[in-house]
Structures are given as structure tokens and as C-alpha cells.
Chain A
């Protein structure tokens, strides 16, 4: 872990009476690729705009390199933004668009500026496009120019607001790799906003999962994926079977729980904050792709009946009825068990695929109901 570059403490933001950001505090480490991930309307873009200075914060403080930038107008902050719709100036060609920052700040001119712009275009693989107008560029090309226009200012932090949202899937995948590569090459700190979990998991060093104006969890993609801190994170990232269970016996990193007629052992997460106590009701979340179907009775398994099998190329989806409610299993490899609809089966799972979450302060964006397979 490097040193802290940007530090936000107790940020609150209201639009009229709506509380958009609620006590947001976190540190951004110098040189990292940090992603704000959350559903639309969760406040992630507002948070980004607060850092850029395009929105004012109602309370809290923002420190950049130890200096408060609260209240500074955007042109006085050494951060630059790549906007969602690129916002390339339509009346200026590519060269003048990229030159805009250095020119208005009078930080570079003449040959120095020209050389720098050539370098920038090379960096984003757009050499030779100097004379093009923005309306002559494709979406991906506009994207690269917008990045070059921001990076030429050598910002402490580059803010990217869903920059790949308007691109088609193939180009988006390509640009994801390129962005991650670019970040590595320039060493610039990136703060990236997206609602796409694949994008976030793919590119980021760390992810801040945001929901209803709060950071629900901040951690590495692996931590977020394998160790969700609460129901929201568990249901938003990855596909999981989510069930209410009763804790029969709570131990250290371990719990015996009752799921319908099954009694199973589960590793317990976040014990420090939410100790598993016998008699409590908790949420069990198991990754659909970390489960397997077995025809024979297995130790520590959930018994059910196959209700349907959907073949979809590289993966097979099997719906299993467990005590009247469906559980979904996604299998990537051909299983030895050639089960058919109506067969009784036993569900097993990789140990890291199942987590036990506290019931309290659990908020599911899709409206959690008992027995929902999310």
C-alpha cells in the first residue's frame, strides 16, 4: 500500500431535501485504480463530481495531497475528468481540444505543446488525428481523445465517469484492457465510476461499492467478490442463491445452520462485527457457480429435486427445488451426475463460495424476499 493521495472525511451532500451522500469517508492511495461501483442513482457520480469540484459538498472535507480543496472551483483543482458523453468541444479539432487545458492555463506553448500533444496522441493510439473534428470520430475514438485531453494536464487524479457506457460490448471489453494498461503506464491515480460489476472487477485495484449514498464496502475485487460484507454487496456482485437461515450453533469462523430441512456447516464472515449467535436468523449467500449437483448423498449438502435444466453452451443452469423454493446451480464442467428433471439431488459447494451475512441492516436493491434466488 502506497501513501494516501486523496482523503475524504464525512462528506454529506443534499439536493433539496434528498440526502445524496451520507457521511462518506475514505482514502485514495497514490497510483491506484479505484472504482465506485453501484446501481444508478446511488450517488457514485455525485461523489465523483464533488471531487472534481463540479458539485459543492454540504459538510466534510476533501484533502488532496494533504491540502483541503473544499470550496475550490474545478479549474483550481489538479484533477481532470473524462465525462460520460466525452464533451469534446465540437467547434475545435482534436489538436485544439487537447491543447485547451495547457492553453487556458498558459502552462505550455509552442513547440513544447506540440510535442506533448504528439506524445499524448501516441499514448492513446490516435496519432495523425490532429486535424479531425469531434463529429468525424467514432465513440471509441472520442473516448481516447477525451482521455488525452485530460491527461495532458498531468492531473494528480483522473476521474472517469462511466466512460465506456456508450460503447458496444466488444469495444467496451477492448477499452477496459486499454484503460487498465494506460493507468499502469502513466502511473496516474484513476477514480472510475461504473454500474457494471464486470468492468469494476476487471480493471480495479480496489472497488468501493456504493448504495444509497453510503460506501457499503471498500476492498480489492477479490475481497468484494468472495467476502461481501452485507446483503447488498452479496446480491449486487456475482450471482448468488440467497436464503434466510437459522443459526443452530455459532463458532469461530464457523456456524451450523438450518436451511429448511437441511442442517449444514458454513464458514461465518465478519465475526468481529456480527458475531454468529445461536438462535439468530442470518442470510446465507452461495455463489451459483460455486455449487455442484451430486446424485449421491454427500456430507454437508442440501437435498433437493431437479426442476429444470437449461443448457447454454459453456455453462448449464440447473434449477433445484429445495423445500419448495428454487436454488440455481450454474455448472461450467460436465458433471458426472447425469441428473434429469425430477431426480433427487444433493447440492454441495466450495467452501469459499458460501457466506453467512447478518440480517440486520441488510438492504437488497431488488427487494429481498425470503427464498429469493438472486
Chain B
């Protein structure tokens, strides 16, 4: 009774989230077990066909692409994000605020616009090619667009703030006296970084990786715009099934699968974070 009274204030938000997140989720879940007719209309007839089709070899390839893209995005953002977060936490308060503002700034722009920005930068008649050709460094424009790598660049760019902020929180909390103790015991800067700093900021690394990995699995417009739809990812597949493919039940089944994948990643993360004592969900 007491706990109920204490948690009473949370009831509106629970109802709100239940309506806006729970209802669609239940709808998608039910939809994934239904069939469709030739025109794409939903037929209320229970079937497991959608889930059987998921394991078609064609789709397995799509899962693999998505996993590869998400993993590589995680690694790229980690390699670039860690130094940025590390340096930012070492700045004086004024510069640090500027640095964090600059990291967060892209969030205020439409993600679609930012992706178009990359086309302007990387395209055959884009800024980079124009400069290189203009300076006679190359004769023909470099073909940088519509490749797996282009999608990777776009996705990593889109998600890197999550990685930086997650690691920044971890590095910022790091007690500098551990580093001093390490120097004092005879370790140089490099050894201290790998023996002390990295292990003690692992929660931030895991957290950042999870925050980047999950959206990277589902983003579809970046691969549409920058990858030219050549490599199909899970997000594209769901998008296509629901819109052009007129197969909403199959799209729903893929969505459920993706949620399961995300939950698996989160489970692995929570185990890792627990072992390291600290992380996003503490």
C-alpha cells in the first residue's frame, strides 16, 4: 500500500507510455501472425508463415549485412569517439562546455539533411572530388558514393555523439588518483592508459557501443541515400515490406525479430555492465 502511494505520481506516465509504446507494439506482434491477400490487405487468419520466411537464405544475408554494419559502426565510433571524449574531459570547464555543445550540435539539424550533406561532400561532382580534380591530383572523380563504406561513414557520423557522451561520462568520473598511483608505481602514460584508464572506463565503452549498435541495426534512410540501396539492411527490408512490398505481416515479423536481437544485445550489455559495476542503467 505504501509503495503504491509512493509510486502514484508515476501512474500517468506509465499509462502514457503504455498507450503510445505498448499498444503499437502489441499491434505489430499480433500483425506478425496474420496473413494478407493478393492486394496487400490484412486477413485475420493465424499463420506462422511469416516467421518461416524470415529464415530464407536471402534474408539471412540481410541480417548478416545489418550485423556487420552495426558492429563496424560501433568500432569506428569507438575508435574516433574515445580520444574525443578523453580529450574533452581533460579540458577546462569553459572549453569543455564548448566541446560538448559542438558534439551535440548536429542533433539540432534534421538527420535527413545531414545525410544529404554527405552526398554534397562525397558525390562525383561533390566538394572533395571537385577540389581534387581542380588541383590536378586526380584526373577522374573518385567513386565514393553508393558503397557499403559510404553507408558506414554516414551511420557512424549519425551515431557518434552517443558514443562520445557515454564514454565522456565514464572518463569524467574516473578518479585521477588511480592514474597517479599507476605513474607512481612505475608505469608510463601508455601503460597507464591500457592498464588503468581503459579497464576503468569499460562501462562507458559498453554503454556507448550498445547505444550505437542498436540504432545502427535499424537505420534505413542512410543506406537508401548513401548506399544507393545496393546493400540491403534489416531496416530497408522492413521499410520495403511495409510500403512497396505491401506485406505488412512479414514486415511485422522482421520488426519482432529485430526487437529480439536488440534485447539480446541489451542482455549481454547488462551482464557486462554488472561485472564492471557501473554503466548506463545504474
Q: Spell out A's residues near B (CB within 8 Å).
A: 52-54, 73-75, 80-81, 83, 85, 87-91, 100-101, 104-105, 135, 149-150, 153
Using known A-B contacts A104-B191, A104-B195, determine if residue A89 contacts B181 with beta carbons closer than 8 Å.
yes
Q: Is the CB of B186 within 8 A of A87?
A: no
Using known A-B contacts A83-B180, A87-B178, A89-B178, determine if residue A149 contacts B185 with beta carbons closer than 8 Å.
yes
How many chain-B residues does the 8 Å CB contact rule pick out?
A: 19
Residue B107 at the A interface, CB < 8 A?
no
Using known A-B contacts A74-B180, A87-B181, A89-B181, determine if residue A104 contacts B175 with beta carbons closer than 8 Å.
no
Q: Is the CB of B181 within 8 A of A75?
A: no
User: Which 9 pairs show the lowest CB-CB distances between chains A and B?
Assistant: A101-B185, A104-B187, A87-B181, A105-B186, A74-B183, A87-B177, A91-B199, A75-B186, A81-B184
Q: Is the CB of B185 within 8 A of A54?
A: no
Our pick among A53, A100, A135 for the contact of B185 (Cβ within 8 Å) is A100
Using known A-B contacts A90-B200, A91-B200, A104-B195, determine if residue A83 contacts B181 with beta carbons closer than 8 Å.
yes
**Which residues does chain A contribute within 8 Å of B180, judged by CB atoms?**
54, 74, 81, 83, 87
The closest CB in chain B to the CB of A91 belongs to B199
**Which residues does chain B contribute within 8 Å of A73, judged by CB atoms?**
183, 188
Q: Is the CB of A85 within 8 A of B177?
A: yes
**Which residues does chain A contribute within 8 Å of B195, judged by CB atoms?**
100, 104
**Which residues does chain A contribute within 8 Å of B187, judged by CB atoms?**
75, 100, 104
B271 → chain A closest CB, angstroms: 16
The closest CB in chain A to the CB of B199 belongs to A91
Using known A-B contacts A90-B200, A91-B200, determine if residue A75 contacts B178 with beta carbons closer than 8 Å.
no
Residue B124 at the A interface, CB < 8 A?
no
The closest CB in chain B to the CB of A77 belongs to B184
The closest CB in chain B to the CB of A96 belongs to B195
Instruction: Give chain B interface residues in 120-177, CB to chain A under 8 Å.
Output: 175, 177
B183 → chain A closest CB, angstroms: 4
Q: Is the CB of A80 within 8 A of B184?
A: yes
Residue B62 at the A interface, CB < 8 A?
no
**Which residues does chain B contribute within 8 Å of A90, judged by CB atoms?**
178, 200, 277
Our pick among B183, B186, B196 for the contact of A89 (Cβ within 8 Å) is B196
The closest CB in chain A to the CB of B179 belongs to A87
Using known A-B contacts A87-B177, A91-B200, determine if residue A54 contacts B184 with beta carbons closer than 8 Å.
yes
Our pick among B175, B177, B184 for the contact of A75 (Cβ within 8 Å) is B184
**Which residues does chain B contribute within 8 Å of A74, judged by CB atoms?**
180, 183-184
C-alpha gap A135/B276 in the complex (Å) = 12
Residue B71 at the A interface, CB < 8 A?
no
C-alpha gap A149/B199 in the complex (Å) = 19
Residue B99 at the A interface, CB < 8 A?
no
Q: Which of B184, B191, B277 has the most CB of A within 10 A?
A: B184
Instruction: Give chain B interface residues in 51-83, CB to chain A under 8 Å.
Output: none
Q: Which of B187, B199, B276, B277 has the most CB of A within 10 A?
A: B187
